């Protein structure tokens, strides 16, 4: 009987599930679950749960079970995964399957054990916990298993995972909670403190997508933002420019660049030579920020490449890793 392999990337923003039964990504939705406060019955998961987030009635509890790349609520995460797997027509194939979980490269033993316990609750036959950055590199079709250095920075929603790989193993790694969602929070705080306008994180993310640009040659763009005036407590709107947002975003990117520099500084000279030639790979949703490739390249003085479809890189890596397990 063919081995059933299920790969899961529990992201702070979205969860990706790969199934070897279909040999494709079968689930890619927000990591959100809505429960009844009184009965703890699951009402919605994924997109539908995310739509009612911050708008839910009093008898609903909307939970994001993953925060900053780590499991924040194990029970809610278990319910979320069980319903997600049941919703993708796997039948009972997910019981007794081999599971691959992605995990930040420098994850705590507590989070690793939480993922193992999740696998056990799903009656997993085998459980593998793999580095998020390593899976992203595999998803980029990089020669991870060659005796050459691969430097990758996965800019996720809740955590940024940086790793240097050689011969399929991590040589050096670093993590930081300064991530894609940190840019949203910085924009929200900026408008609150400087413009006295209160907005939600969804609005801040929309502003980032519309105006976020760290290219030195970009044109100034404007967008109208609506929210609540913190002085009058009434609905209000202001016009925000892409130029002013650069000063909000750049300090956070500079911190990530320092973390990348820390990883490079720990390398052997032979590996640094490879990095100079091969450069840096950027993956994750944060890699979609306009001008980030050129900005990192200028600051690090090495070639920088944004992986094609960067938000899907870890999911593709789960597929590659699953195929490797099937050959064993």
Chain segment 157-212, per-residue pLDDT in tens: 999 999 999 888 899 999 999 999 999 999 999 999 999 999 999 899 999 999 99
Strand partners, 281: 152, 305
Set out the domains of the chain in order of their start, with CATH numbers. Answer: 5-135+313-326 (3.30.420.40), 147-177+252-311 (3.30.420.40), 180-248 (3.90.640.10)
Asked if the model's pLDDT at residue 1 lies above 60, the reply is no
Residues 197-256 pLDDT 10s: 999 998 999 999 999 999 888 888 999 999 999 999 999 999 999 999 999 999 999 999
**pLDDT, position 59:** 80
Q: What angle do CA 322, 279, 290 make, to 5 degrees?
A: 90
Q: How confident is the model at residue 142 (pLDDT cuts 50, 70, 90)?
A: low
Whole-Å CA distances, 242 to 98, 182, 293: 47, 17, 17
131: helix, strand or coil: strand
Crossing angle of helices 201-211 and 242-265, rounded to 10°: 90
52 by Cβ neighbours in 10 Å (0-12 / 13-18 / 19+) ranks as: middle
Residues 102-137 pLDDT 10s: 999 998 899 999 999 999 998 899 999 999 999 999
Extract long-range pairs of 287-294: CB within 8 Å, 24+ residues apart: 287/155, 289/180, 289/183, 289/208, 289/212, 289/213, 289/214, 289/249, 290/212, 290/213, 290/214, 290/215, 290/218, 291/213, 291/214, 291/215, 291/216, 291/218, 292/214, 292/253, 294/214, 294/215, 294/216
Full-model pTM: 0.90
């Amino acid at each position: 009987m063919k081995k059933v392999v299920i790969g899961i990337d529990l992201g702070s923003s979205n969860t990706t599930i790969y199934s070897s039964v279909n040999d494709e990504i079968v689930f890619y939705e927000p990591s959100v679950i809505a429960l009844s406060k009184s009965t703890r019955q699951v009402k919605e998961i994924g997109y539908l749960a995310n739509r009612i987030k911050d708008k839910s009635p009093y008898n609903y509890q909307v939970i994001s079970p993953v925060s900053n790349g780590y499991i924040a609520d194990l029970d809610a995460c278990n319910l979320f995964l069980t319903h997600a797997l049941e919703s993708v027509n796997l039948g009972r194939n997910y019981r007794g399957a081999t599971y691959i979980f992605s995990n930040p490269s420098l994850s705590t033993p507590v989070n690793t054990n939480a993922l193992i316990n999740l696998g056990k609750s799903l009656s997993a036959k085998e459980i593998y916990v793999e580095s998020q950055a390593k899976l992203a590199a595999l998803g980029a079709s990089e020669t991870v298993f060659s005796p050459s250095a691969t430097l990758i920075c996965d800019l996720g929603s809740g955590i940024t995972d940086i790793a240097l790989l050689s011969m399929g193993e991590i040589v050096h790694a670093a993590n930081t909670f300064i991530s894609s969602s940190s840019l949203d929070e910085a924009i929200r705080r900026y408008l609150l403190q400087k413009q006295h306008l209160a907005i939600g994180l969804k609005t801040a993310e929309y502003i980032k997508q519309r105006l976020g640009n760290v290219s030195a040659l970009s044109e100034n763009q404007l967008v109208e933002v609506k929210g609540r005036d913190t002085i009058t407590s009434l609905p209000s709107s202001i016009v925000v420019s892409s130029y002013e947002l650069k000063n909000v975003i750049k300090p956070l990117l500079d911190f990530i660049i320092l973390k990348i520099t820390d990883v490079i500084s720990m390398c052997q000279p032979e590996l640094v030579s490879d990095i100079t030639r091969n450069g840096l790979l950027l993956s994750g949703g944060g890699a979609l920020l306009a001008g980030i490739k050129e900005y990192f390249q200028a600051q690090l003085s090495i070639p920088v490449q944004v992986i094609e479809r960067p938000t899907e890189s870890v999911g593709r890596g789960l597929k590659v890793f699953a195929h490797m397990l099937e050959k064993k």
